[in-house]
């Protein structure tokens, strides 16, 4: 199994400042491994913060292979131009440069980035929302954009329904994610664990690593131990002959 890590570079937020206004920004998330993925790029005002966050991770935009935007709202797509060399998946569009690949998200077909990373359709907040599913040692992450506004919307449906274009579809998509994931990165809050889920124990060793471990044990028993016996025996013989 390949090793992937999920890092929230900038948690999203949403704070009302009046009856018709709020300060809001979408979460920016790095999926790091054999294939590096940025999920949502924040608003245009996040440009320098995103570049600085990548630098802190020892990365630059050229190190990113895929940029996935969960939907087309401005606080989630504001910096896609920082990654011209990456494959861009924005809602149901898939392109690299001006070359578009048509993918059947609409019929429920996942888009596989790697064996442990895939993009799936999760409509509801908009008609073409997508989510990124990542298998890690900590468990399965779902990076979902505004399918979940924040962890609190599990108990207060108004937090997501007031922004939902297709609430019935969003209910179904949320249910699917809650069944799939151990941890969720929402659009406007901190990552949270799915209630009632126990994340699987980390697969610290692959089958190959176990085989290597057994081979190492054989070396210890069949080579090192006899050598130690020989050395200790020789030392004892030398001490005995000195005594007489």
pTM summary value: 0.81
**pLDDT for position 202:** 41
Instruction: Give the SS3 label for residue 214.
Output: helix
CA dihedral 171, 114, 139, 126 (to 10 degrees): -20
- Predicted pLDDT at 197: 79
pLDDT at 9: 98
What class does CATH assign to 5-193? Answer: alpha beta
22 beta partners: 16
Answer whether 155's CB lies under 8 Å from 116's CB: no
Instruction: Report which secondary-structure segment, H or E, holds 183.
Output: strand 183-186
Among residues 67, 92, 87, 62, which one has the least CA distance to residue 78?
Answer: 67
pLDDT value of residue 238: 60
- Kindly give, in sequence order, each residue whose CB lies less than 8 Å from that of residue 133, ignoring residues fewer than 6 positions away: 110, 117, 118, 119, 120, 140, 141, 142, 180, 181
Calculate Rg over the CA atoms of the chain.
25
Residues of the chain with pLDDT under 70: 1, 198-244
């Amino acid at each position: 199994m390949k090793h992937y890590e999920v890092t929230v570079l900038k948690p999203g937020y949403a704070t009302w400042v009046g009856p018709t206004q709020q300060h809001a920004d979408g979460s920016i998330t790095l999926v790091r491994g054999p294939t590096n993925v940025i999920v949502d790029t924040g608003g245009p005002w996040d440009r320098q913060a995103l570049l600085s966050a990548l630098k802190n991770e020892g990365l630059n935009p050229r190190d990113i292979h895929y940029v996935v935007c969960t939907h087309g709202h401005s606080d989630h797509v504001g910096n896609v131009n920082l990654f011209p060399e990456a494959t861009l998946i924005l809602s149901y569009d898939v392109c690299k440069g001006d070359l578009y690949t048509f993918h059947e998200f609409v019929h429920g077909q996942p888009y596989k980035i790697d064996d442990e990373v895939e993009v799936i359709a999760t409509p509801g907040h908009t008609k073409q929302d997508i989510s990124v599913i990542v298998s890690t040692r900590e468990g399965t992450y779902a990076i979902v954009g505004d399918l979940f506004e924040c962890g609190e919307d599990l108990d207060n449906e108004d937090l997501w329904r007031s922004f939902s274009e297709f609430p019935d579809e969003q209910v179904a998509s949320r249910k699917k994610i809650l069944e799939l994931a151990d941890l969720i990165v929402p659009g406007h809050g901190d990552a949270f664990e799915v209630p009632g889920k126990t994340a699987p124990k980390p697969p610290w060793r692959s089958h190959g690593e176990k085989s290597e471990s057994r081979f190492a044990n054989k070396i210890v028993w069949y080579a090192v131990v006899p050598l130690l016996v020989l050395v200790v025996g020789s030392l004892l013989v030398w001490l005995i002959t000195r005594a007489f």
